[in-house]
C-alpha cells in the first residue's frame, strides 16, 4: 500500500473516529444527508453510494452527468452537448428550459446565474471525461 493509498484509507474512515454527539437541532433520525440537504431524489442510486463511500468527486461527476442528460432530454437539444447545451438551454433572453416566469429582474438574474453555473459544471465534466469543452 502506497502512502497515498494509506492516507486515503484513513481519510475515508475519519468520520467514524469521533465521540461527539450531533448537535440536537441538527440531528434528524433516519434521514440520509441527501434528504436533509434537499438533494433531488431522481439522481441515480450510484451517486448516493459513491457519496456514502466518501467518493465525493466521483459522486459529483456522476450527478452532473445525470443533470446534463436531463437538460438534454427536457430541452430536446439533441445535437449539442456540454457548454453549448447549457448556454442554449438556459439562455436568459430566450430560454429553452426556463427556471421561472422570467418576469422580474430577479427572475432573469436567476436564469443567468444558473446558465453560467451549468456551463462551468459542464466544462468540469468535460475535463473529467478527457474531452475538450465546446
Rounded-to-integer distance, Cα 108 and Cα 103, Å: 7
Per-domain residue ranges for the chain? 30-129
pLDDT in tens, 57-95: 889 889 999 999 999 999 999 999 989 999 999 998 899
pLDDT band per the 50, 70, 90 thresholds, residue 26: low
Q: What is the pTM of this model?
A: 0.69
State pLDDT tens for residues 86-124.
999 999 889 999 999 999 999 999 999 999 999 888 887
d(CA 74, CA 89): 9
94 to 15, 115, 119: CA distances (angstroms): 46, 12, 16
Amino acid at each position: 500500500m502506497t502512502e497515498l493509498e494509506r492516507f486515503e484509507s484513513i481519510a475515508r474512515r475519519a468520520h467514524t473516529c469521533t465521540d461527539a454527539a450531533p448537535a440536537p437541532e441538527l440531528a434528524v433520525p433516519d434521514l440520509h444527508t441527501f434528504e436533509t440537504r434537499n438533494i433531488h431524489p431522481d439522481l441515480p442510486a450510484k451517486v448516493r453510494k459513491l457519496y456514502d463511500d466518501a467518493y465525493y468527486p466521483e459522486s459529483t461527476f456522476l450527478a452532473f452527468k445525470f443533470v446534463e442528460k436531463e437538460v438534454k432530454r427536457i430541452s430536446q437539444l439533441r445535437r449539442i452537448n456540454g457548454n453549448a447545451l447549457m448556454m442554449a438551454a438556459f439562455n436568459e433572453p430566450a430560454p429553452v428550459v426556463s427556471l421561472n416566469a422570467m418576469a422580474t429582474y430577479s427572475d432573469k438574474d436567476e436564469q443567468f446565474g444558473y446558465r453560467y453555473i451549468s456551463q462551468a459544471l459542464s466544462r468540469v465534466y468535460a475535463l473529467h471525461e478527457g474531452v475538450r469543452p465546446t
